[in-house]
Amino acid sequence: MNPEGGVNDGRPRYGPSDSLLPGLINDLTLDCLAWVSRSDYASLSCVNTSFNGLIKSGCLYGLRKQLEIVEHWVYLVCDHPRGWEAFDPIRKKWMTLPRMPCDECFNHADKESLAVGSELLVFGRELLDFAIWKYSLIHRSWDKCQGMNRPRCLFGSSSLGHRPRCLSSSSNLGSIAIVAGGSDKCGNVLQSAELYDSSSGTWEMLPSMHTPRRLCSGFFMDEKFYVIGGMLNPSVPLTCGEEYDLQTKKWRKIEDMYPFANTATQAPPLVAVVNNQLYAIEHLTNMVKKYDKVKNTWDVLGRLPVRADLANGWGLAFKACGEELLVVGGQRGPEGEGIVLNSWCPKSGVNNGTLDWKVLGVKENVGVFVYNCAVVGC
């Protein structure tokens, strides 16, 4: 599976007798296999040793990125004993991930999650310090990830599926993520920020924000990273936002970008970006709002399919899933408790103040609280 010279296009090099499919050249075979659903990778790896090596090499993930083939899967924890599970919205299929080999302190501590390319990062705390575990979709296993330069929790974060041209790298197939703000293990509120490079698995310090903040949220929009909301200290909420330009490496403060002030007991802002448009949930009213970039204001769109006000916004996930908004929350019914995944496509518009939410999937008998959720697109 090692390259034998030539152009480094991410494809494995085979000898003349190493045909993946007899009668078909390997480049054409690889292009065909790149379109196979990720749900079938486990079956493909059982065909023969060549297919098994192909799946383990990660080559198909690189080809899918080059061909802009993306499947969005939802990864979540809604029942601690079960651990992480994945949901394929196309096949309507649930899968259980291998158990994370972390210590009991990390297992029972509060955690934060972030999808970066074909990786799922889970941030938490071990006995003596913060730690990060990384799940690789390619290898289908957990590994300890390199820690941040300034370990933290309760930060704002987001990832970008491609590498901006302004960031130099030996590989253009990696994805990046940025974390900003948060609290260190002594409780100090941070204004520093760091960039994670999935191709190298390393962290790089970025210029600091203008204002320290914790319990904030982050997102990418128009190739720039934003942080909004959060708390300066337990009694001072922040309504300003900050914009980081990856090209100029500078932060810009935006006053009143998020006027729905947090309290120390509320969840960080529930925000998601679809097609470079920012949406948010105002959990006190259970309404979805849309941000006007020009006017720096918010417009009310419609009501959520589940209630966000019951636990101050905690236990609910609001994510972008391709070109749709995804809400993952608990629901109690005659048959018991469960987690429901609802989606709405902004392109479908708003009908008389109503959003046409569609049920993507249901996970029964797992309670009504979503502990962690991330959408991986690759």
Q: Assess whether pLDDT exceeds 80 at residue 165.
A: no
Q: List, for residues 24-43, the tens digit of each pLDDT value.
A: 898 888 988 999 999 999 88
| Phi, psi at 149, each rounded to 5° | -65, -35
Q: Assess whether pLDDT exceeds 60 at residue 17.
A: no
2, 13 in Cβ contact below 8 A?
A: yes
Say how far apart CA 254 and CA 259 lie, in whole Å.
11
- Whether 19 is covered by a domain: the verdict is no
216, 191 in Cβ contact below 8 A?
A: no
Say how far apart CA 100 and CA 106 lie, in whole Å.
10
Return the CATH number at 133. 2.120.10.80
- Whether 261 is covered by a domain: the verdict is yes
- Whether 199 is covered by a domain: the verdict is yes
- Whether 9 is covered by a domain: the verdict is no
- Whether 213 is covered by a domain: the verdict is yes
| Pairing outcome for strands 72-77 and 372-377 | antiparallel
Q: Assess whether pLDDT exceeds 80 at residue 101.
A: yes
Question: To the nearest whole number, what is the mean pLDDT of the chain?
Answer: 90
CA pseudo-torsion sign 111, 145, 118, 251: positive
Instruction: Tell whether 59 and 79 lie within a shared domain.
Output: no
Amino acid making up residue 61: Y
Instruction: Tell whether 329 and 207 lie within a shared domain.
Output: yes
- Whether 1 is covered by a domain: the verdict is no
Mapped onto helix, strand or coil, the DSSP state of residue 59 is helix
Statement: the pTM of the whole predicted model exceeds 0.75: yes
54, 1 in Cβ contact below 8 A?
A: yes
Q: Which pLDDT score, from 0 to 100, does residue 171 have?
A: 53
Q: List, for residues 222-261, the tens digit of each pLDDT value.
A: 999 999 999 999 899 999 999 999 999 999 999 999 998 7
Instruction: Tell whether 256 and 174 lie within a shared domain.
Output: yes
Q: Assess whether pLDDT exceeds 90 at residue 48.
A: no
Instruction: Tell whether 268 and 337 lie within a shared domain.
Output: yes
114, 125 in Cβ contact below 8 A?
A: no
Instruction: Tell whether 99 and 35 lie within a shared domain.
Output: no
Which residue from 288, 280, 322 is spatially nearest to 304, judged by alpha carbons? 288
Q: Assess whether pLDDT exceeds 80 at residue 335.
A: no
Instruction: Tell whether 212 and 338 lie within a shared domain.
Output: yes
Instruction: Tell whether 55 and 77 lie within a shared domain.
Output: no
- Whether 8 is covered by a domain: the verdict is no
Mapped onto helix, strand or coil, the DSSP state of residue 324 is strand
Number of folded domains that form the chain: 2
Instruction: Tell whether 167 and 101 lie within a shared domain.
Output: yes
Q: Assess whether pLDDT exceeds 50 at residue 4.
A: no
Instruction: Tell whether 130 and 96 lie within a shared domain.
Output: yes
Residue 60 lies in domain: 26-65
Instruction: Tell whether 38 and 142 lie within a shared domain.
Output: no
Instruction: Tell whether 60 and 140 lie within a shared domain.
Output: no
Instruction: Tell whether 49 and 168 lie within a shared domain.
Output: no
Arithmetic mean of pLDDT, 312-324: 95
Q: Report how far Cα 375 is from the mean position of its chain's Cα atoms.
A: 5
